[in-house]
Structure 1
């Protein structure tokens, strides 16, 4: 039992070089949880808007304001989102809320490059102000990002760093007094677990730092 004063746990150690890629993915995505979902919207070179969810997404730094996004390959070919970011130099990250969970899931479908995922999922598209990229019009929080750096991850695809040039917020969202924090309980973000499992925001505890 965790925390048993009788002694340390007798862990089972899995050597990651002894398991295949599928098992490594399953271990990683079931332990690094919950993960924020980067619901990424881009535009193709021919002008077609694209939107797709990625859960290998995180904040990196605040000055400059950077986010990271890991985008895998499909059949050894770069996914549309990665190709669009590299071609166009911009993207938006739409914060997925409980109300948008089903729509977000629909955009995970594999469609041909010239198909409009916004239309497929029944989403309205709007244009960002600080970068040349589309965003989900009714999303309450959006990060408008300029391409910053790409790291080739081989078979795993690519890691993209984006610099946040603008933050769009629903004016109805509460900003915590005396700060720039957005009230997370009002935002109601969704987190990714493993496989097809997601988590909704539950109890929030605020602990004073020692």
Structure 2
């Protein structure tokens, strides 16, 4: 099968992209509006970008041409937290994925406890084992796309004592973190086998 992307509609391209680029880590992004309303929503167009500067990216779609609450809050406050969703939080995370209006506080709606970040003006999921406190680094408008790419600079990493580090390193124990990832449709992935292969020496 050969598929020419120019011959496909947007929905078809979305189906291919989200079923082939898998598994995708989930940025469970928490923000606050300038008026003080909290917002919490998951995004699977999420990636590590750079260690120096310490950057992550989140691609955020619009809703009928209008910025989603997360993007609007980030544009206005320059602050957000990326909560790395885990297996025990999967159902709660999914509950915050609805297209709620800006008046809805997803923390309150889903019964999720929040705490306040120390380096940025944003809430975070209180019992999330790994949280990245981010300030807005750059907004990249994607011409012709309903998505906007947000680059965030990680100012602080909050890591639970339940997630140990590999001795002598800052590698967090993935098995202990138990992250969840997005597949396509309603499907998610969890950490299964993690084979170890040394890089070839040349």
Q: Same fold (TM over 0.5)?
A: yes
Q: What is residue 167 of structure 2 aligned with on the other side? A: 177
The correspondence of residues 159-174 of structure 1 with structure 2, limited to 5 A, is: 159-174=149-164
Q: What is residue 180 of structure 2 aligned with on the other side? A: 190
Q: What is residue 148 of structure 2 aligned with on the other side? A: 158
Structure exhibiting the larger radius of gyration computed from Cα positions: 1
Dislocated runs of 4+, deviation >3 Å: none
C-alpha deviation, 1:171, in angstroms: 1.5
Q: What is residue 56 of structure 2 aligned with on the other side? A: 67
Q: Structure 1: state its 5+ residue gaps.
A: 1-11
Matched length: 199
Superposition RMSD in Å = 0.8
> Comparing 25-34 with 149-158, which one deviates more in the overlay?
149-158
* Residue aligned with 2:102, SS: coil
The correspondence of residues 40-59 of structure 1 with structure 2, limited to 5 A, is: 40-59=29-48
Contact 2:82 2:131 in 1 (8 A): yes
Could you state the TM-score of these two structures normalised by the residue count of structure 1? Answer: 0.93
Could you state the TM-score of these two structures normalised by the residue count of structure 2? Answer: 0.97
C-alpha deviation, 1:114, in angstroms: 1.6
* Residue aligned with 2:57, SS: strand
Contact 2:49 2:55 in 1 (8 A): yes
CA distance in 1, matches of 2:18, 2:147: 16
Contact 1:94 1:135 in 2 (8 A): yes
Per-residue CA deviation, residues 37-79 of structure 1 (Å, 9 max, x unaligned), is 0100000121011000000000000000000000001111110
C-alpha deviation, 1:130, in angstroms: 1.2
Q: What is residue 27 of structure 1 aligned with on the other side? A: 16
C-alpha deviation, 1:155, in angstroms: 3.6
The correspondence of residues 132-143 of structure 1 with structure 2, limited to 5 A, is: 132-143=121-132
